[in-house]
Structure 1
Amino acid sequence: MEITTPEPAPVAAGPDAAERQSRDLEERIAADPGSFRILTGDRPTGPLHLGHYFGTLANRVRLQRAGVALFVLVADYQVLTDRDVADRLGEHVEALVADQLAAGVDPSTATIFRHSAVPALNQLMLPFLSLVSIAELGRNPTVKEEIAASRQAAVSGLMFTYPVHQAADILFCKANLVPVGRDQLPHQEITRTVARRFNERYAPLFPVPDALLSAAPLLLGTDGRKMSKSRGNAVALSATADETARLIGRAVTDTDRNIGYAPEARPEVSNLVLLAALCQGRDPREVAGEIGSGGAAALKRVVIESVNEFLRPLRARRADLAADRAYLREVLADGEARATAIAEATLTEVRTAMSMTL
């Protein structure tokens, strides 16, 4: 597919500037979606949950349906950034593909692929590493946070160089738009740096990709901490209605029976209100007002009913997909064939620009 690369937006300095830039990008996407190519993805470390759905999956589907070219990476090599072994990897890969498709990603136009199945993509990491310094990688605040939370006894080279691997993910297909959360902006700036330096040093080959901040609000886990696969505080898209009820029933609240939406003052209660509101497609203040003085029991009942009703059709689609492992593997094989062809062409261009061809 031929992609016309729009001019990159100026670098956003600070969160307010990043938000303004994202609003501008949304206007440009609406005007000409075919000029944009997106790279996004997830690590296959466990089932995707409601935080993933409202934070990233729904946005992927929206952008794809608008006409943006979508590449979805199953980042299997990156499972090893913060752990020593990739446990149950094959199972998690298939589950991740099922979650993507059940959420609405269309494999007939999206390219869904694994790191490990596209060798040419990973080979791009070698020349890209020459374009950044150890000091630049060491200053990356996101890498520092991930190292602090790592399950490994020592920091691996893969963890330290993760932003450059991500640059290879984005640039192999010449993506010019990357949906990110605020915490990923430093990684995105490394990718922009790699693209600029390659273009200046060798040849103008890569777009300088822009970051598109998600408009989705942050959902906390049911324990009031960051929602995470590993903490058992998130409702998986594949969870049953009974499992959902048990998890939400244990959610942290407070002693005030009057239910309101005040994220700063009452984060746990407000998080549950927000979850119900997102599932209902309504304003959280309206949802809180209806519950009124019903207390935590009434709030949890509303959230359980809202989540289960919202997920009902998605769960049905996912169950059908999970039962057809041959189809999930076919989706991956098709996407990986497309990704491999693109990666090999890009690698050839890179080697030519670097005078490495005979």
Structure 2
Amino acid sequence: MPNEGSYEAALRRSDEVHADLEVNSGAYTMLTGDRPTGRLHLGHYFGTLVDRVRLQALGVHANIVIADYQVITDRDTTEHIRDNVYNMVVDYLACGIDPDRTLVFTHSAVPELNQLMLPFLSLVTESEMERNPTVKAEQEASGHALTGLLLTYPVHQACDILFCKGNVVPVGRDQLPHVEITSKIARRFNERYAPVFPEVTGLLTSTPLLPGLDGRKMSKSYGNAISLCMTADETARLIKKSKTDSERNITFDPEGRPGVAALLTTAGICTGREPAEIAAEIGMGGSGQLKRYVTEVVNDYFAPIRERRRRYEQDMDYVRDVLTEGNARARRIAAATLDEVRDAMGMTY
């Protein structure tokens, strides 16, 4: 039996839940989310959005938080945040998120959720928060001093998950420590006060990491990301100017030829084909033929999503209503959970 804190144990539990979801989806409540720091791109789409739509279709109780408060964990400004939030909702809708089946809300509009921070902070130690690898990585990347908000970031995520009694969280391997600290908080609260919160499982994704067009991590700041809001022409221009190399024969070699490999990986994930198979097909066609092929399959794949996106962009009143109604529903859920918490703690007066 693997160590219960090991990756193997997390993978085993994730596999068990994935199997049970197919026959018992109504027993699961999912929480996931995004920070509104810019536009969503293909990495977000294939990494998380596809899976959210799949879980929604299965009948899982789905919740998505637009984590606007978390923007200021490592940034000094909230400039453009309103525009980013509304565009995020547009992207969700265009990709198939149904607000009748998936709750979409923002941190800042649900004070009852954020109030859970107070009792939850009493259940973790400073060292447990400081050794969270995501906190360390975020701090190093930003170059900022460690703020109180960044230090308590994992606890705030526990509030996101537990306010709605979430018991599954889609994650990559690097995000498992967040699920682990959420589980600790839930378990410690239940043991200290009363059984209020469920056991939480990280649903490990099998989707391969989609690199940016230059082979590095996909990021808007690197200029290597195809955003969901881009037009077909903008996509073509971005792919055309992506860096490859001088070798004419196209081969799939992620380490030796990162730019070429990134284009092949993008084409593979859009077509369901193996990147090496696409490389062999293009062969001596060179980077020009490769870029034309990638442009065609990306634009074909995202054409219906872009069409839906244009329709939602023309009806921003509806987009704002989705968020307003989602925030109101989230407040009702959070208020009920907070009442349970106060009752368990004997704090009802």
**Structure 2 residue 101 is the aligned partner of structure 1 residue 109:** yes
Write out per-residue CA displacement over residues 85-131 of structure 1, whole angstroms, 9 at most, x where no aligned residue.
11111111100000001000111111000001111000001110010
Q: Does 1:159 align with 2:145?
A: no
More deviation in 300-309 or 244-253? 244-253
Match 1:130 to one of 119, 122, 127: 122
What amino acid sits opposite 2:64 in the alignment? V
- Which region of structure 1 is more displaced relative to structure 2, 31-40 or 273-282? 273-282
The 5 Å alignment of 1:151-190 reads 152=144, 154-190=145-181
> Residue 93 of structure 1 aligns with which residue?
85
| Counterpart Cα distance in 2 of 1:10 and 1:179 | 21
Q: 1:292 to 1:18 in 2, by over 3 A?
A: farther
Which amino acid in structure 2 is aligned with residue 142 of structure 1?
Answer: T
Q: Distance in 1 between matches of 2:123 and 2:142?
A: 26
SS of residue matched to 1:59: helix
Note the C-alpha offset of 1:141. Answer: 1.2
In 2, Cα distance between the equivalents of 1:124 and 1:225? Answer: 38
What is the one-letter code of the residue matched to 1:346? T
Aligned-pair identity (%): 57
Report the Cα distance in structure 2 between the residues aligned to 1:174 and 1:107, rounded to whole angstroms.
19
1:302 aligns with 2:293: yes
User: Is the CA contact 2:3–2:9 (under 8 Å) kept in the aligned structure 1?
Assistant: no
Residues 151 and 237 (structure 1 numbering): CA distance in 2 closer, same or farther, change over 3 Å?
Answer: farther
Kindly provide the amino acid, as one letter, of the partner of residue 229 in structure 1: K
Paired residues of 2:214 and 2:258 also in contact (CA < 8 A): no
Pairing 1:43–2:44 present: no
> Hey, what does 2:224 align to over in structure 1?
233
The answer as to whether partners of 1:141 and 1:186 remain within 8 angstroms in 2 is yes
Aligned partner of 1:259 in structure 2 is: 250
Aligned amino acid, residue 104 of structure 2: I
Matched, 1:321 2:312: yes
Taking the TM superposition and a 5 Å limit, the aligned residue runs for 1:1-358 are 11=4, 13-14=6-7, 16-150=8-142, 152=144, 154-358=145-349
What is the alpha-carbon distance in structure 2 between the residues aligned to residue 149 and residue 280 of structure 1? 33
Matched letter for residue 60 of structure 2: V
Q: Secondary structure at the match of 2:226?
A: coil
Q: Higher mean Cα deviation, 163-172 or 188-197?
A: 188-197
Q: Which amino acid aligns with 2:149?
A: L
Write out per-residue CA displacement over residues 166-204 of structure 1, whole angstroms, 9 at most, x where no aligned residue: 000000000000001122111111111111110111111
**Paired amino acid for 2:40:** L
Aligned-residue offset at 1:338: 1.2
Report the CA distance between 1:22 and its aligned residue: 2.5
Counterpart Cα distance in 2 of 1:320 and 1:190 = 41
Return 5+ residue gaps in structure 1 as ranges. Answer: 1-8
Query: For 2:141 and 2:60, how far apart are their aligned partners in 1?
Result: 34
In structure 2, distance between residues paired with 1:252 and 1:187 = 36
Does the aligned pair in 1 maintain the 2:66–2:85 contact within 8 Å? yes
Structure 2 residue runs of 5 or longer lacking an equivalent are: none
Q: Which amino acid aligns with 2:225?
A: A
Report the CA distance between 1:253 and its aligned residue.
2.0
Larger displacement relative to structure 2 (104-113 or 268-277):
268-277
Is this contact kept in 2: 1:176–1:207, CA < 8 A? Answer: yes
> Aligned partners of 2:121 and 2:302: how far apart in 1?
42
